[in-house]
Amino acid sequence: MFTLLSRSAGLKKFASQYGMRQNGFARRFIAGETIHEAIEVARTLQARGLLLALDYLGESVSTIAKASAAAREYTRLTEVIEAAGIERNISLKLTQLGIAIDRATCVDNLRRILEPAKRHNFFVRIDMENTPYTEATLQVFETLWQLDFRNIGIALQSMLLRTDQDLRRMNELGARVRLVKGAYKEPASVAFQQKADVDAAYVRQMRLLLDHGTYPAIATHDEAIIKETRAYAAERGIANDRFEFQMLYGVRRDLQNQLVAAGYRVRVYVPFGQEWYPYFMRRIGERPANLWFVIRAMMREK
């Protein structure tokens, strides 16, 4: 049912029309359509003792012109973020910068963002997308690393069968890894299909990162895994400032607050922009209960 709904043009039209209105249902997960709305949200998160990462939504652009426009927009946004005085930390996707069209263009676009970002002390995280782009994303990351950019990090997905290997590859570089379970539907040839297998891989990789990684980000809302991470860090004498937890805007605020109160570093990923629909649908797909809250909103508007 979810797959059907997610492909429905009617749902997309409804969501675009109502989702981001004042108190619209998409606002639970999306900070706004403009950078100024995102900055407002960022300020309230900082006031709660949270760290943040801003993500200007967009993915799978279809032309080189659009990819270059996204890079220009990111550069402009870093100036706005700097002027606002909030934390300088952004996340981006390489299909937004043209990796699916031309690798060299994508590298150029990323460089155009990273050069000013480096001068102005921004940290830039490269999100991990679906498996057609896993190896390409890692290679682009390594290219930029070889060009001496160190203000960058990468995300790896526990659900993929290849991730233990990729983790070692990133640990050898000394790169900062954000560990996530993985948000894309992938076939059994490349990914675990059972939640228990993904969770077991996540725990194994969390330990590898805490032992051998560089300031890893444990990005999950899974309470059991967070508990396991806390216990492992305590057992190994790993201080709270040697790693951070990360969560998504709108998900488990209670847990975010509890971790901050317990003295952990918690970063919230704050997505914004007009291209919010694919991101929003991934959040809905993760939890059937979320679908009902969209359906209820649709009933109210009818």
Q: Which residues are catalytic?
A: 127, 178
Residues 214-233: x/- map of binding to ligand FDA (CB under 6 A)? Answer: -----xxxx-----------
Kindly give, in sequence order, each residue whose CB lies less than 8 Å from that of residue 140, ignoring residues fewer than 6 positions away: 94, 99, 103, 106, 107, 110, 126
Helix (H, G, I), strand (E, B) or coil at 192: coil
**Least distance in Å: CB of 44 to ligand FDA?**
18
Q: Which residues of 116-145 are buried (b: 16+ CB within 10 A; e: fewer)?
A: ebbeeebbbbbbbbbbebbebbbebbebbb
**Least distance in Å: CB of 246 to ligand FDA?**
4
Task: Give yes or no for residue 182 binding ligand FDA (CB under 6 A).
Answer: yes
Q: Which residues of 197-217 are buried (b: 16+ CB within 10 A; e: fewer)?
A: ebbebbbebbbbbbeebbebb
Task: Give yes or no for residue 96 binding ligand FDA (CB under 6 A).
Answer: no
Task: Give yes or no for residue 163 binding ligand FDA (CB under 6 A).
Answer: no
Instruction: Out of 38, 248, 259, 266, point to the residue binding ligand FDA (CB under 6 A).
Output: 248
Q: How is residue 134 annotated by DSSP?
A: H
Residues 104-133: x/- map of binding to ligand FDA (CB under 6 A)? Answer: -----------------------xx-----
CA distance 111 to 134: 19
Within 13 Å and on the Cβ side, how many CA atoms surround 102? 10
Task: Give yes or no for residue 155 binding ligand FDA (CB under 6 A).
Answer: yes
Report phi then psi at 237, rounded to 5: 65, 30
Nearer to ligand FDA, 82 or 186 (CB): 186
Instruction: Out of 251, 260, 291, 298, point to the residue binding ligand FDA (CB under 6 A).
Output: 251
Task: Give yes or no for residue 181 binding ligand FDA (CB under 6 A).
Answer: yes
Task: Give yes or no for residue 253 binding ligand FDA (CB under 6 A).
Answer: no
Nearer to ligand FDA, 69 or 251 (CB): 251
CA distance 202 to 220: 10
Task: Give yes or no for residue 287 binding ligand FDA (CB under 6 A).
Answer: yes
Nearer to ligand FDA, 79 or 135 (CB): 135
**Looking up tokens 């990819």, which residue turns up?**
67
Nearer to ligand FDA, 64 or 215 (CB): 215
Of the candidates 109, 16, 30, 100, the one whose C-alpha atom is nearest the C-alpha of residue 271 is: 30
**Least distance in Å: CB of 165 to ligand FDA?**
17
Between the alpha carbon of residue 157 and those of residues 166, 193, 218, the distances in Å are: 10, 13, 11
Of the candidates 31, 68, 95, 91, the one whose C-alpha atom is nearest the C-alpha of residue 273 is: 31
**Least distance in Å: CB of 92 to ligand FDA?**
10
Binding footprint of ligand FDA, residue count (CB under 6 A): 23
Interface residue list for ligand FDA (CB under 6 A): 127-128, 155, 157, 180-184, 219-222, 246-248, 251-252, 269, 283, 286-287, 290
